Structure 1
């Protein structure tokens, strides 16, 4: 089968042409900057690196790129809904379905996930006193799998084969019968590849936190961001494995004619069960790391130990546990019966309890503290009321009888965005401003940071608060038009203004980064007067971070050394510090899987075989390498 460059039409579709033009216009200045600054060598350094800070930086960089890509999709959606009976460009009908599919999929899998994994990569080893992640090579493999999956998914937009099944990929719409062609296959394989990388990274983080903590760093002394990372990684192992199963079954339905989700033996409801067993824990996979970010930031800028540390840890674990007992509240209208609906309604209400406990703990940490209203703290404070609003509507949706009325309306869209943006996106921005020194050595400007915060916060509420009302008016989601007689023009127009205000807010962030790196000065180890171990090492964090290793005696060890005017105790170990290993094998493995998926998508089985052989060959090559010998020396590698 031939791969169409611009779809099956004789002329280049407008949106495809715009995509190519936009990409070329973005690539030219970036390429000129790289050549002018002679940064080609730096690019290769990052391509073959296994260092946790550099890999975390790559996650964050591409997460931001996809954030702008998905944000443009959101602006297209809001532009189409700004006026009744609107005819905005070509974004109607099928194209509108494509836009909300790419917006949702990108935001969940290729924006929120990599940005959080990037922060985890950079910060967690520093917070627990580890020199790197437990398996640096596997860490690189995980990133490049994410990258290959994200590129594979986005390629579809450039060849006019964008999936149009929503980010949930509901069967039977996602089966070959109803969405023939390669569009849906880009969704299936893109998520498979990137999801595998996410599982690898989660395994790596679990082993690192369990086995590589500094001497004296008991589990009860870990920062809450490290705790949130541990619980989140455990959720990823289970949830993304279930998603992988669902995607493989859908792949077999589409590629080889099986009937898991259709036909006399299959059932499309099976897909919903599998997807939401992944999908609702995914909400907490996105939210829990943000809770950890806010906990560390609120503690630092209130100059207080986090209130109720043990209860905070228990509530994080309880949220993770209950997260696997609520998936069917997405399926109240499917017809599971009153017993199932009642059980999942109760568990959904119950999960609000540990979440509410955390809110009160944050408030009591702030109470009586010496509060500094920095940009990270502003995002943390803006999160609390915004997230509580999302939690209240979540309790409303947990009532199955009410859910029958709210289901698949703008009300659900508003609730979902209040939960995810208020927690995850606010948490990501707070974390980026807070830990930017550890990534780059610079502190972002406060004035532009405040402009970013206030425009984003106001735009956020302007966008999604009116959608609660339009949802109560019965406006369905995923519908691209409405009439003047519906009486919702002003509400929709307000939402559109808010969305564009959120888009404008991101320009303040871009300008802040540019201005900081142009005129800013490097900062020292501890620009925020921090409390945890990451502020003990230089900014940006070097390859050899802890040499010798610190000895931890309490929570917030760095804070107490400063408070008591003493130095941080360290070990007398003579074990050599690790050096950074480099390899092109991780990116090669990811590209081989990319080729394999491309071959299956277009029935080019020779290409799939080449990709499969490539992956197998690279695994064999890798099996002859003992990384411990390279890092520590042969005599020390078998201790």
Structure 2
């Protein structure tokens, strides 16, 4: 721990008061830190950056743009279904729109947007200057962008996947799906999942080994716990779907028979592998939202979160139980009754820890002095919609009832209540909550509340009737229906609701964009937040914190005593503090890699490898050469100043 010293800041930190930067920074030190941690100007600086804030901003812009495009596709489908026997979209056009919408939302928006928030927030919540592996974060974004292009460029060229966001064989096999539509979808999965694995490992290591002194595991904010469990789940779940799609490509390209019953394969093997990932993915999306909600509820209720230990245990329980539920998506395929009973029980059991979390949030609001600003409104909307989705989930967890409801619009309604209510509502609340920290300006509260009520009302008008349509027997994945079925009125209501929700989303986007220039200056902590990110400037400088904060409680920014910090990190070399896993005791200073073009080049080489492999198996051989070359360039040892080396 050579060179690490302790000192105490001069300013007191009264509870719930706006927080100034943790330590006044001399102007000379601030300039040296900014020069050390800043990026080069121009295009090279833009492409080579490893600043976690800029990488997260790219993730967010990309995912939110895809959210808009995917929403337009959903509106297109709803206009088609608003009246019986509509012919605006034919069966092929509807299948393509359905596949693009589902694949984009589930693989290119829901998980990546949560990782983007974590990439931005985790170092700030830890009082650190960057992630554990900055270049790996840059690589993960460029590879994710490759996955986006893998799906949408073929769409522009007329090679759009059209078998749904699940692509079950044998329909996706070489016999029934000639051409490359199914290959495009399968390789898009590989892109996005490798990117997600890279981001998850980065986040988990940062949380475990770069916590500030005093932030023991018991003092970690709920958001950090949620992201740690989510990252571990991602590492365990995503290889299953990557393997499934790789085997599918092998069946299609080199005539293996993994999913061909005629040659001894098994089509249900694909479903098992897909849903072993697919149901944990629901909670990979949901658990970061638990962190958002906990932070917002604590701040706007003006009291410490009720049941912090209960929340943490519930998060861990959800992470474990999520891997024992996947077969409830397959009750209709002819499973043994004993197996169905087991998965019914497991699927219902996961409602218990989630219910405990909801009760803790309600107790915090009830026992505090809540201020119903826009972020807290989104949380209240989340609780209402997610409870509806959870109750319908318990219903469909019952194998006998699921056999009647599977592949009906009841499932479509349930899915959207869980994913939109359980992920997008908290995400919108989080964007409103941390917007002033990222931009230094406040969004309009009036227009924020108008946007919330439009989205909340439109969502429930649009998706609740889907449950009724399912009970009336309307199957999912159909592009039209006859008048005699009697589904026209409810479908018109559903389409009207989605239009209202879309209007609310447009108001929210306009509010965010206009507030970049017209919003009131926010100051460093406009909400009186409790966690460390509110202790740095808004927007954060390239180095985030001039000195590492020392944590003494669950709510470090509400601590009544003077704020303690630890100094000793270099002003002229990129250094971060590494601490122990359990007690967060300082161990050593670690060199943090600076800007580099190699992550982009490695991502380009990996992309060429993936794209080429759907056309010829030789791409696996020859494509490995540029991948290896770029990785060698990335990891090639370079001379550093002695003070920049890791010290043990």
Q: Contact conserved, 1:46 with 1:55, CA < 8 A, in 2?
A: no
Offset of residue 47 of structure 1:
2.4
Q: Secondary structure at the match of 2:441?
A: coil
In the alignment, what sits opposite 2:277?
278
Q: How does 1:414-429 map to 2 (within 5 A)?
A: 414-429=413-428
Separation in structure 2 between the aligned mates of residue 501 and residue 257 of structure 1, nearest angstrom: 49
Q: 1:46 to 1:272 in 2, by over 3 A?
A: same
Separation in structure 1 between the aligned mates of residue 637 and residue 441 of structure 2, nearest angstrom: 37
Offset of residue 575 of structure 1:
4.2
In the alignment, what sits opposite 1:567?
562
In the alignment, which of 215, 231, 234 is matched to residue 232 of structure 2?
Answer: 234
Q: How does 1:143-154 map to 2 (within 5 A)?
A: 143-154=141-152
Gaps of 5+ in 2: 1-39, 576-592
In the alignment, what sits opposite 1:4?
none
Q: How does 1:11-90 map to 2 (within 5 A)?
A: 44-88=44-88
Q: How does 1:190-229 map to 2 (within 5 A)?
A: 190-229=188-227
Separation in structure 2 between the aligned mates of residue 470 and residue 340 of structure 1, nearest angstrom: 30
Q: 1:244 to 1:449 in 2, by over 3 A?
A: same
Report the RMSD for the aligned CA atoms in angstroms.
1.8
| Residue deviations 1:180-229 (CA, integer Å, cap 9, x gap) | 11111111111101210100110011110000000000111111111100
In the alignment, what sits opposite 2:645?
636
Q: Contact conserved, 1:304 with 1:365, CA < 8 A, in 2?
A: yes
Q: 1:523 to 1:346 in 2, by over 3 A?
A: same
Q: Is 1:372 aligned to residue 391 of structure 2?
A: no
Q: Contact conserved, 2:142 with 2:600, CA < 8 A, in 1?
A: yes
In the alignment, what sits opposite 1:103?
101
Offset of residue 268 of structure 1:
0.6
Q: 1:280 to 1:129 in 2, by over 3 A?
A: same
In the alignment, what sits opposite 1:620?
632
Q: Contact conserved, 1:101 with 1:167, CA < 8 A, in 2?
A: yes
In the alignment, what sits opposite 2:171?
173
Separation in structure 2 between the aligned mates of residue 598 and residue 247 of structure 1, nearest angstrom: 14
Q: Contact conserved, 1:594 with 1:611, CA < 8 A, in 2?
A: no
| Residue deviations 1:87-112 (CA, integer Å, cap 9, x gap) | 11xx2212111111110110011111
In the alignment, which of 110, 113, 121 is matched to residue 112 of structure 1?
Answer: 110
Offset of residue 611 of structure 1:
4.2
In the alignment, what sits opposite 2:17?
none
Separation in structure 2 between the aligned mates of residue 417 and residue 353 of structure 1, nearest angstrom: 21
In the alignment, what sits opposite 1:410?
409
In the alignment, what sits opposite 2:467?
468
In the alignment, which of 226, 243, 246 is matched to residue 244 of structure 2?
Answer: 246
Offset of residue 131 of structure 1:
2.0
In the alignment, which of 574, 579, 585 is matched to residue 578 of structure 1?
Answer: 574
Q: Give the number of equivalent residue pairs.
A: 591
Structure richer in helix, relative to its length = 1
Q: Contact conserved, 1:57 with 1:439, CA < 8 A, in 2?
A: no
Q: Secondary structure at the match of 1:570?
A: strand
Separation in structure 2 between the aligned mates of residue 574 and residue 159 of structure 1, nearest angstrom: 52
In the alignment, which of 167, 178, 183 is matched to residue 185 of structure 1?
Answer: 183
Q: Contact conserved, 2:439 with 2:516, CA < 8 A, in 1?
A: no
Q: Contact conserved, 1:236 with 1:285, CA < 8 A, in 2?
A: yes
Q: Contact conserved, 1:129 with 1:549, CA < 8 A, in 2?
A: yes
Q: Contact conserved, 2:443 with 2:520, CA < 8 A, in 1?
A: no
Gaps of 5+ in 1: 1-39
Separation in structure 2 between the aligned mates of residue 478 and residue 43 of structure 1, nearest angstrom: 45
Offset of residue 326 of structure 1:
0.5
In the alignment, which of 593, 599, 619 is matched to residue 612 of structure 2?
Answer: 599
Separation in structure 2 between the aligned mates of residue 185 and residue 567 of structure 1, nearest angstrom: 59
Q: Contact conserved, 2:311 with 2:360, CA < 8 A, in 1?
A: yes
In the alignment, what sits opposite 2:23?
none
Offset of residue 373 of structure 1:
1.2
TM-score normalized by structure 2?
0.88
Q: How does 1:337-348 map to 2 (within 5 A)?
A: 337-348=336-347
Separation in structure 1 between the aligned mates of residue 459 and residue 156 of structure 2, nearest angstrom: 30
Separation in structure 1 between the aligned mates of residue 414 and residue 449 of structure 2, nearest angstrom: 26
Offset of residue 603 of structure 1:
3.9
Q: 1:507 to 1:558 in 2, by over 3 A?
A: same
Offset of residue 384 of structure 1:
0.6
| Residue deviations 1:496-530 (CA, integer Å, cap 9, x gap) | 01111122122112211221122224432111111
Q: Secondary structure at the match of 1:601?
A: coil
In the alignment, what sits opposite 1:8?
none
Separation in structure 1 between the aligned mates of residue 306 and residue 338 of structure 2, nearest angstrom: 39
Q: Contact conserved, 1:52 with 1:132, CA < 8 A, in 2?
A: yes
Q: Contact conserved, 2:605 with 2:630, CA < 8 A, in 1?
A: no
Bigger Cα displacement from structure 2, 282-291 vs 509-518 = 509-518
| Residue deviations 1:428-456 (CA, integer Å, cap 9, x gap) | 11111111123222222212211211111
**Structure showing greater relative contact order (alpha-carbon pairs closer than 8 Å, 6 or more residues apart):** 2
Offset of residue 597 of structure 1:
2.8
Separation in structure 1 between the aligned mates of residue 395 and residue 476 of structure 2, nearest angstrom: 18
Separation in structure 1 between the aligned mates of residue 611 and residue 232 of structure 2, nearest angstrom: 31
Separation in structure 1 between the aligned mates of residue 626 and residue 373 of structure 2, nearest angstrom: 50
Q: Contact conserved, 1:284 with 1:319, CA < 8 A, in 2?
A: yes
Q: Contact conserved, 2:254 with 2:617, CA < 8 A, in 1?
A: no
In the alignment, what sits opposite 1:357?
356
Bigger Cα displacement from structure 2, 166-175 vs 514-523 = 514-523
Offset of residue 635 of structure 1:
5.5
Offset of residue 41 of structure 1:
5.6
